[in-house]
Amino acid sequence: MPHYCTLIPGDGIGPEVAEATVRAVEATGVDIRWKRAELNEAIILESGKTLPQYLLDSLNETRVGLKGPVTTPVAGGFQSVNVALRKTLDLFANVRPVSTLPGIKTRFQDVKIDMVIFRENTEDLYSGLEHEIVKDVVTSLKVITRTASHRIAQYAFEYARRNGRKHVAAIHKANIMKLADGLFLRCCREVAQEFPDIQYKELIVDNASMQLVMRPETFDVLLLPNLYGDIVSDLAAGLVGGLGIVPGANMGETHAVFEAVHGSAPDIAGQGKANPTALMMSSVMLLIHIGEPDAARRLRHAIEAVYLDGTRLTADVGGSASTGEFTDAVLRQLRR
């Protein structure tokens, strides 16, 4: 039975890593019918819409998306496509597995890092409620609700139990933001009581950041509000080699969008230098989501085998291979 998936290549290096990922997914033998939906900075500026209707129609039809990076203007311009997708489709859980790949030279290559970060995706400071009270005085509202906090905590604990994870750490700043982060913590504690088989602890976000750098191998599942989750997930990616190799998923009750979390890198677009690992690893999560765990396992093992061999890696991880050469190496491993 075929699976249908909306493919959003994005812009910059997006189309290159998307093409490489499509080749890898199709090489697993899974029958995926891609519904291509173009979205890039030029389209958004021309249409005046961050999310054109044809894109939403496709995602509402397939319920599953694979998305490359889309350029987001800084300090002005249109809203982030990621933020707009999360709010429009209620993709409340950002899931970021962070694990060591063989052959990557980092400061932590002598320890095994294997953590999963759960970031609430719909509120907090990302609600975008900002106001200039008087000239040069701006307020930005941090919104924390019981509904969203309880939902992300429930999702993280259920994932932990389902996947044999033993520890969940809630990350907060409730010593300062006693009401907002205090509510988030209360929800985490309530959910933790429903899972006595999973050890639960709490860490203040600045201490958690230090502990991640000093002892990253001690972390298992991290549970965070939106802003802390955004920062900590990128910090954690840096521990294992950077955003070019770390996957991401935005999960909701009815929709799921899997994406590379790195930027569009327009400075190297079209040069065959882009590393498609992050989007390929995101497609591993997609395959699990659509009920193809064997294909997911084979694709992940193929990627890991290429990294272990080390002769066909892209420049960002210490190699000299092109995007196509890396992809061809993954396909050869899949055929084996």
CATH code, domain carrying 210:
3.40.50
Catalytic-residue membership of 54: no
Of 222, 240, 258, the position where a domain reaches its end is 240
Shared domain check, 143 and 36: no
Give the rounded percent of residues in the chain with a pLDDT score beyond 90: 86
Catalytic residue among 67, 87, 173, 273: 173
Position 40 scores a pLDDT of: 85
Position 296 scores a pLDDT of: 98
Catalytic-residue membership of 267: no
Position 78 scores a pLDDT of: 54
Contacts of 99 (CB under 8 A, 6+ apart): 113, 114, 115, 240
The lowest-confidence range among 35-49, 90-104, 210-224 is 35-49
Does position 76 have pLDDT exceeding 80, yes or no? no
Give the rounded percent of residues in the chain with a pLDDT score beyond 70: 98
Quick: pLDDT tens for 91-118.
999 999 999 999 888 888 788 999 999 9
Shared domain check, 232 and 148: yes
Catalytic-residue membership of 197: no
Does position 74 have pLDDT exceeding 50, yes or no? no
Shared domain check, 253 and 207: no
Does a structural domain hold residue 179? yes
CA distance 204 to 192: 17
> Residue 127 gets which letter from DSSP?
G
Neighbours of 63 (CB within 10 A): 17
Of 204, 225, 240, the position where a domain reaches its end is 240
Catalytic residue among 31, 57, 206, 309: 206
Does a structural domain hold residue 211? yes
Position 75 scores a pLDDT of: 43
Position 73 scores a pLDDT of: 57
Backbone φ and ψ for 19, nearest 5 degrees, come out as: -60, -40
Shared domain check, 233 and 127: yes
Does a structural domain hold residue 33? yes
Shared domain check, 249 and 177: no
Backbone φ and ψ for 222, nearest 5 degrees, come out as: -115, 140
Catalytic-residue membership of 206: yes
Catalytic residue among 126, 155, 200, 307: 126
Residue 331 or 72, more confident: 331
Quick: pLDDT tens for 291-320.
999 999 999 999 999 999 999 999 999 999
> Residue 143 gets which letter from DSSP?
B
Of 240, 270, 301, the position where a domain reaches its end is 240
Mean pLDDT over residues 223-250, rounded? 96
Shared domain check, 94 and 159: no
User: pTM of this prediction?
Assistant: 0.94
Catalytic residue among 90, 114, 220, 234: 234
Mean pLDDT over residues 217-244, rounded? 96
Distance of CA 208 to CAs 115, 229, 330, Å? 13, 11, 35
Quick: pLDDT tens for 153-194.
999 999 999 999 999 999 999 999 999 999 999 999 999 999
Catalytic residue among 11, 124, 181, 230: 230
Shared domain check, 316 and 267: yes
Shared domain check, 246 and 102: yes
Residues 10, 14, 15, CA angle at the centre, nearest 5°? Answer: 90
Does a structural domain hold residue 111? no
CATH number for the domain spanning 322: value is 3.40.718.10
Mean pLDDT over residues 265-288, rounded? 96
Does a structural domain hold residue 76? yes
Does a structural domain hold residue 113? no
Distance of CA 154 to CAs 109, 297, 310, Å? 33, 26, 39
Shared domain check, 80 and 37: yes
Does a structural domain hold residue 112? no
Question: If pLDDT is split at 50, 70 and 90, which confidence band does 79 have?
Answer: low
Q: Which domain holds residue 165?
A: 118-240
Position 128 scores a pLDDT of: 82
Catalytic-residue membership of 228: no
Shared domain check, 207 and 127: yes
CA distance 295 to 147: 35
Number of domains in the chain: 2
Residue 3 or 127, more confident: 3
Does a structural domain hold residue 5? yes
Shared domain check, 126 and 95: no
Mean pLDDT over residues 22-26, rounded? 98
Shared domain check, 259 and 217: no
CA distance 139 to 119: 23
